[in-house]
Amino acid sequence: MEKTIKKSNYIMKAICISYVLTLVILFLYNILLTFTDMNADMISIIASFITTVSAAVGGFYASKKIKEKGLINGLLVGISYILLIFITVFLLQDQFKFDISMLYRIFLMTCAGGVGGILGVNFK
């Protein structure tokens, strides 16, 4: 029982690390857009890249701390990360549409978390 609670804590910490990393990088990107002549046409692609990297980092952290089942723990972090983002967007927007791009993002973040988990469990 104690081991399960410890694993759950690492999963929750990994999700929090993913969100903090996402916010920090998005903030820095926003500063770059504001004070430079960078093109804002690629915001969606950059945001997807940032969230993918954040999910992978979260999966890496959880699996590195838990030291077993890297794929499963990483997938769990990735799916939790993106589902919490969707819940937040759903609650904040007046008109929420679930479309194919959201399924793509769910798949992408889940896979990124899994890859991060595999790397984390094997990292020495």
- Total of domains in the chain: 1
Lowest mean pLDDT among 54-58, 96-100, 105-109, 110-114: 96-100
Report the SS3 class of residue 86.
helix
pLDDT tens digits for 50-74? 999 999 999 999 999 999 999 999 9
pLDDT tens digits for 6-57? 899 999 999 999 999 999 999 999 999 888 887 878 888 898 999 999 999 9
Instruction: Determine contact, residues 11/78, Cβ cutoff 8 Å.
Output: no
pLDDT at 26: 94
Is the overall model pTM greater than 0.75, yes or no? yes
Structure tokens at 101: 């791009």
Range of the domain at 101: 2-122
pLDDT at 73: 94
- Least Cα distance to 51 among 8, 10, 12, 20 occurs for 20
